[in-house]
Amino acid sequence: MTNAALVGIDFGKLDFEASLQELDLLTQSAGARPVVTITGRRHSPDAKFFIGSGKAQELKEAIGHYGAELVIFNHALSPGQQRNLEHFLGCRVVDRTSLILDIFAQRAKSHEGKLQVELAQLQYLATRLVRAWTHLERQKGGIGLRGPGETQLETDRRLLGERVKSLKVRLIKLQRQHDTQRRSRKRNGTMSISLVGYTNAGKSTLFNALTKANAYAADQLFATLDTTSRRVYLGEAGNVVLSDTVGFIRELPHQLVAAFRATLEETVHADMLLHVVDASSSVRQEQMAEVNGVLSEIDAADIPQILVWNKIDAAPELAAQGPRIERDESGRVWRVFLSARTGEGLDLLRDAISEAVSLGTGLQSDDEAPDVRLVDSWVDEPHAEER
């Protein structure tokens, strides 16, 4: 297993510590072992090293002391900053975007998922292609050796561009197939429900519990990348199609938002969303905001939601109160408290979904937050922060 040095710079954000913990989980999910974490505070990134020359020297010494073979930044680096750091530190440097792309490449199983990951990787690589040819800089003094380097780079860019174009065509074809399947469901009057939420919120565990499916579920980031759909019978409300989708994360690389649009189409075209929240997380409000931000970006912000506060068994305050349903001032279901792992509250969620289906998804979107006051002092003030 590769030893990795983690780097995080505090630019004044309130969730800095939570972000570092997330980077640690991402690193482990990618298959590396965090051995040291270097932190610092800055008002803005350094143009050359991102972290400044003094901190770069501290990082270099830590790499030697802890035997790190890889440096992972909790930020997006420019191609120039990455190149400068690798030259100075003498080891490979990976930024947050590249790390997430690597995890996605490991986890994609379906043909469509693999195509989407490759497209995202190529789009990221296109901005850093020159790094692959830095060895030619040593030859610039030789007569006749300038041209081949430039020609090779241009050839590589052309081949990369052709591959990107080919992948986009194939993904469009797959998207049309999904559209046909969705139209067929609409004709049959089958309601579509998508599970959305921050990565590792427990969506796949909840999906398996509701559908008796065997979808892969693990306590790790991005355990699910490929959309899985199952038909679920809800008694008087009839059948619905429930879909498990990729988890969201803060600062999700734009290449992935674009490349995974086909995967997220199930979310865009859903009749209702179950927004799964890790109720035991200290930064659940920030995670909810990230999810809603991505939903807005993919034009899914207006789809009615039920908030599903999962993992109540891991939060003592919630475990004491047990599973329950909360409603807004109009009497509509607002959020359901449950534990997908233990099964507590699953019947309540089924009832809530069935009720919403019977009422024609008469739910509020997240922007139409209910004006409710909860007597439980531990609960976050609804919804001013949740939006």
200 is in an annotated binding site: yes
Pairing state between β 324-327 and 333-337: antiparallel
**DSSP string computed for 79-132:** HHHHHHHHHHHSSEEE-HHHHHHHHHHHH--SHHHHHHHHHHHHHHHHTTGGGG
204 is in an annotated binding site: yes
Please state, in angstroms and as integers, the Cα–Cα distance from residue 307 to each residue in 151, 234, 280, 292, 355, following that order.
Answer: 55, 19, 14, 12, 15
202 is in an annotated binding site: yes
198 is in an annotated binding site: yes
**DSSP string computed for 17-41:** HHHHHHHHHHHHHTTEEEEEEEEEE
d(CA 357, CA 292): 22
245 is in an annotated binding site: yes
311 is in an annotated binding site: yes
235 is in an annotated binding site: no
According to DSSP, residue 198 is labeled B
List, in sequence order, every residue forming a beta bridge with 242; answer none if it has no partner. Answer: 193, 230
208 is in an annotated binding site: no
Contact (CB, 8 A) for 9 and 42: yes
Sign of CA dihedral 304, 353, 280, 108: negative
- Give Cβ neighbours of residue 157 (< 8 Å, ≥ 6 apart): 126, 129
313 is in an annotated binding site: yes
224 is in an annotated binding site: yes
Contact (CB, 8 A) for 81 and 97: no
12 is in an annotated binding site: no
331 is in an annotated binding site: no
225 is in an annotated binding site: yes
214 is in an annotated binding site: no
246 is in an annotated binding site: yes
182 is in an annotated binding site: no
244 is in an annotated binding site: yes
201 is in an annotated binding site: yes
Residues of the binding site for Mg(2+): 204, 224
- Extract the annotated binding site for GTP: 197-204, 222-226, 244-247, 310-313, 339-341
**Residues at the annotated binding site?**
197-204, 222-226, 244-247, 310-313, 339-341
